[in-house]
Each structure stands twice: as structure tokens, then as C-alpha cells.
Structure 1
Amino acid sequence: MNDAEAPSPQTISPTVGRRWLAQEIKRLREAAGLKQSDVAKRLRCNHAKIAHIESMRNAVSGPDLEVMLPFLGVPSERVDWYLQLADIAKEKGWWDGNRAIPEWFSLYIGLEWGASEIHEWDLGYVPGLLQTRAYSEALITAGSRVSNAQQRQQIEARLQRQDALHRDTGTLKLHAIVDESVFHRRMGSDFILKDQIAHLIAMSEHPQVTLQIMPFHAGPHRGQLGSYSWLGFPRADDPGVLYLENQKGGLYLEESEEITDFRADFDRLAQTALPAEDSCNLLEKLVKGKAQ
């Protein structure tokens, strides 16, 4: 990785820092023709420790990095970049340890917080980054099995995620495609849905937000197989992460072939959906219709 491909660690989230560090250690080891056991021998540790570092299960310490990097062929002038990355990776984001956020979703928020772009297809509801408080409340409390206090914590956490669109370091661009059915599904009351649609109209003017609606008349498409998000990061050789979710947890895909397929599907959805301006016009018609 050259300097042009290596953003300052200060511009990324701790989760992305841990991910990049794990990726880099694996890349450097493979480029050097070494096995995990070779690195473990150099660090005088067991093989499992290196495997856990490369899988993000465990963080790597600064002292271990200082021994490992020269062994992996990293020139002395580049060592400091990796040590800075390790310092960032050890930090805690507001989502880490937050009781309102399941452990499997905490990873997603950390990636979201450090992403440079998100392409999201939603079949069932408005994207979390674009939800109003009332819409979030209606969605989170519907059929919830947790206490009212926990529900309130979940709502606050969802709203706090939206700060990612307004952060000071590193711009986040969001391209969301939402199925038209979402805007006909009652959420608590007609007013809540109307207010949510009005909020989307306002957010469509945001310079970092592209919003498209998949109209009913579009016919069948691959988006009907389920919702998903692709998160991209500010590094040329990073393919990003594909995220799928169900009631029990999230699935993170990082194989380049899988990501290529989903991104191609998203591009086709974008071509099939209404353009951004027409999508905004449709939302305005829906707001007027609900006002009558």
C-alpha cells in the first residue's frame, strides 16, 4: 500500500481502524510468503493469536506491531502509520458497549461511522440514517419484547447514528433506494408517515444524500430478494463490506466476488428506480395526498 492509498488514521472510526489493521497484517504476511505460524514464532505466541488478529477477533498491541512490522518487510518510515492506526483501533466509539445496541450490530455502526459511502436498498422501511424520531419510535416499539427503557435507548442510538452524515472528519455519501410500498405502510399514524416523507423530501436536498424510489410499476427485480447495504471506505484497495440483516443478527460479506454481484444488482436497481428528481416529485404527491 502506497501513501496515496493510506488515508490518515485520524479520519476513520476505531472499527474501521481494526478492520484495516487486520487486513494489512494478513496482506503483508501473505506478500512476504509467510504463514501465521511463522509470525507466531517470531512473536513467541501461539498460532491462534495471529489468526484472531487477522480476523478482528483480537486487537494487536503496539509492542507486538513494532516486532511484527519489520519482520513483515514494512520499511521504517511506514511503521508510524501502522502504530497510529493501532492507537485509533484501541479507542472506543459511542456504540461500543452501548446496551441498546446488540454486539452483532455494533460492528455495523462502527463501519457506518467510518464509511465514505453507503449504497442501501430497502424493501421494508426508511433507512435508519433518514428516519424521524416518531418513525423510529413506531418501528422499534412495534412488537418489541424489551422494556420501555430499552426501547428508548434503542431509539436514541438510532438517532445518534445520523450524526455520521454530519461528522467533521471524512464525508459520508448515502445513496438509498427505497421501495414505494414503504410509503404506504402505516407507521403509528398517518401523521407520522406524512412527517417522515416530508423529512425525506428535505434530506433529498442534502448534498451527500441521493434518494430514489422503486415504483410499483417497475415490475419484478432482484431487490425483491431482500434489503442490503454496501459500505465503502476511503482506501483504493478496500472492496468494502456487504451487510445483510434478519431478526436474529447480521451477516457481513467481504469476498470480492460477492460484493461485485451485489453492487451490480444495486446499479441495476438504480437504473430501474425513479431518478432522484422524479422520486422527490412522487414523495411530494404522497405528502399532498395524505394531507387531504
Structure 2
Amino acid sequence: MAESPTVRRRHVGAELRRLRESAGVDRESAAELLDCSLSKITKIELGNVAVKRAELEKLLECYSAPAELSASLLVIAAEAKKRGWWSRYGKAVPDWFRTFVGLESAACEMRVYEAELITGVLQTEAYTRAVIAAVSPELAEEQVERLVRVRAERQARLLSGDPQRLNLIMSEAAVRRMVGGPAIMREQLAFLVAVQRRPNVTIQVLPFRSGAHAAIGFTFTMLRFPDEPAPTLVYLEDLTSAAYLDEAADLDVYKLTFDRLQALALGPAESVAVIERAVSEF
């Protein structure tokens, strides 16, 4: 994970934000300095986009960054322009989703709440194909194959020898919803039971009987990165775009919401029992 260009961009962005705040410079002034939009400054500090060398030099000078730190950040920023593993799949990964794939690859922990479907990183190939067929039936077979391979590689990275931590809470609806047919559902749910045995994966089911809860109508992902004690980014997604939240007030809301969901959800052992019972019912 340390070699990901996203890690490098996040490091540069975090340092720029720290330097800016220490210098008492607001984002509006930084945007004026670069003659760019306020959203670009936000994206640079989040690590969502790479910063050009000339822009970085201007910001470092404005923030009165120490010479040694400036030199280090210039080197890291140059390395951050290298492409990530997902780039080889071309347009199969939409531009708005590439940022998340990079951030996911860089994260050491994911906290996910899923309301409707099995979360993407734990989907079997057949389940993934069934979801794609329902959401984007117009896609050519070649595009479908690339999407399936991207999802498979994301899963392989989660379950590799240097694993991330995944804490997944999913609605019982995701377990019960028929996707692709009984055989596909049995395979998918059996896979969840097997994955749950891994030390880096925790799956909890939020049962129907829990009633109204703090995340009704929402699905979200929280990401924690190396050397950070808690999640520092929230990812929200719709059909054609995504949003990233990193303000302390937003993070506090989502952390509290996830904690409340955990308190309502079944424990891991009870959750496995629900999943195994669903397997027998399909």
C-alpha cells in the first residue's frame, strides 16, 4: 500500500493543509494565489488530484515552509504522478470512481455500511455480473469483463498477505435480496461466511427487527489511512458521481452513526447464523 500514488498525494495534501493552517492562510487566499477554484485547493489537500510543481512551489513559499520539508514534498509530489494499478483497466473505471479506488488501495481500514447490496469488495464474480446487468445492461461484454476484473483485484488486495481491515455492517435486506438467482445467492452468501473467518474482516448484519436507525436511506464508507488513529475521510456515492467529506464536523457525525449501527447490529457470530440460514432458504 505504501507505493500507491494516492498515498503520496494524500501525504503532500495533508502537509499543505497543515502548513496553510499554521501560516494562517485560508483556502480562498490559496485559491487566489494559484488563480484556481476553491474546490481545487480542497481536492489537492484531500489528495484527490496531483499538484503541479509550479503550484506546489508557490504554495510552499506562501506558507513559509522550511527548505528541507519543501524539497521533500517536491520529490514526493513528482512520484505521486505515477499511475495506480487501476489505470490499466482504462475507461472501465469511471473518472469519478478512480479517486475512490486509489483511496481504498491506500487505506489501512474501511468501515462500511451497505443498505441494499453486498458491498462491492466482497462480491463474487457471478454476483458482480448480475449487479452490472441490472444497473448497466447496455454495456458491451468487454466493458463488463473489465469491471469484473477491477472488482476482483480490489478483493484480492483486501484479502492479500498485507491486508486492510474491513468492518462491514449491512442491512438484512442485502442478505435477503435476490440478485442473479438462487445459485448465485447461495455462492455469494457462502463466500461471506468464509471471509468472515479472516482476522481482518468483521461482518455484522443489521436485522429488520432493529427498525428505524441512524442511516436509513444511506450507504457510506469511512477510510482510515496509515499513521492515522481514526478514519479521516467519508465516501458517498450515487449512480454517476461521488462526494468526499473530511471536515471534522462531518467525520464526527459519520463516526457516531457507525457506532450506533454497530450497537444495533447483530454480533459476528449471530450474523453468520443469519447468513447461513439465508443460504438454506435460497
| Fold match by TM threshold 0.5 | yes
Gaps of 5+ in 1: 1-9
Offset at 1:184?
1.7
AA at the equivalent of 1:26? R
Matches of 1:129 and 1:37, distance apart in 2? 37
The alpha-carbon distance between structure 1 residues 121 and 66, as it changes in their structure 2 partners (threshold 3 A), is same
The aligned runs of 1:169-180 (5 Å cut-off) are 171-180=163-172
| 1:156 matches 2:144 | no
Matches of 2:27 and 2:193, distance apart in 1? 52
Offset at 1:175?
0.4
Q: Aligned pairs, how many?
A: 277
Contact preservation (8 Å) 1:239, 1:256: no
The aligned runs of 1:109-258 (5 Å cut-off) are 109-144=101-136, 145-167=138-160, 171-236=163-228, 240-258=232-250
The alpha-carbon distance between structure 1 residues 289 and 264, as it changes in their structure 2 partners (threshold 3 A), is same
User: Could you state the TM-score of these two structures normalised by the residue count of structure 1?
Assistant: 0.83
AA at the equivalent of 2:238? N
Contact preservation (8 Å) 1:70, 1:76: no
Deviates more, 1:148-157 or 1:265-274: 148-157
| 1:287 matches 2:273 | no
Matches of 2:264 and 2:49, distance apart in 1? 43
Matches of 2:271 and 2:204, distance apart in 1? 5
AA at the equivalent of 1:82? L
The alpha-carbon distance between structure 1 residues 267 and 65, as it changes in their structure 2 partners (threshold 3 A), is same
AA at the equivalent of 1:23? A
Corresponding residue number in structure 2 for 1:26: 17
| 1:47 matches 2:35 | yes
Matches of 1:36 and 1:121, distance apart in 2? 31
Identity %: 32
Matches of 1:197 and 1:11, distance apart in 2? 32
The alpha-carbon distance between structure 1 residues 70 and 217, as it changes in their structure 2 partners (threshold 3 A), is same
Offset at 1:231?
1.1
Matches of 1:185 and 1:196, distance apart in 2? 12
The alignment's C-alpha RMSD in Å is: 2.9
> Which whole-Å deviations, capped at 9, do the CAs of 1:123-169 have from their partners, x for residues lacking one?
11011111111111111111422222212221111112113314566
Offset at 1:64?
6.2
Matches of 1:134 and 1:237, distance apart in 2? 36
Matches of 1:51 and 1:122, distance apart in 2? 28
> Which whole-Å deviations, capped at 9, do the CAs of 1:104-128 have from their partners, x for residues lacking one?
1111111100011111000110111
Offset at 1:280?
1.1
Matches of 2:216 and 2:18, distance apart in 1? 36
Deviates more, 1:214-223 or 1:233-242: 233-242
Matches of 1:26 and 1:215, distance apart in 2? 41
Offset at 1:278?
1.0
Gaps of 5+ in 2: none
- Look at both structures and tell me which one has the larger radius of gyration over its CA atoms: 1
Offset at 1:98?
2.2
AA at the equivalent of 2:239? Q
Matches of 1:223 and 1:91, distance apart in 2? 37
Structure 1 runs, 4 residues or longer, greater than 6 Å off:
35-41
Q: Which of 14, 31, 38 pairs up with 2:5?
A: 14
Contact preservation (8 Å) 1:26, 1:54: no
Contact preservation (8 Å) 2:9, 2:49: no
The alpha-carbon distance between structure 1 residues 286 and 59, as it changes in their structure 2 partners (threshold 3 A), is closer
Contact preservation (8 Å) 1:239, 1:254: no
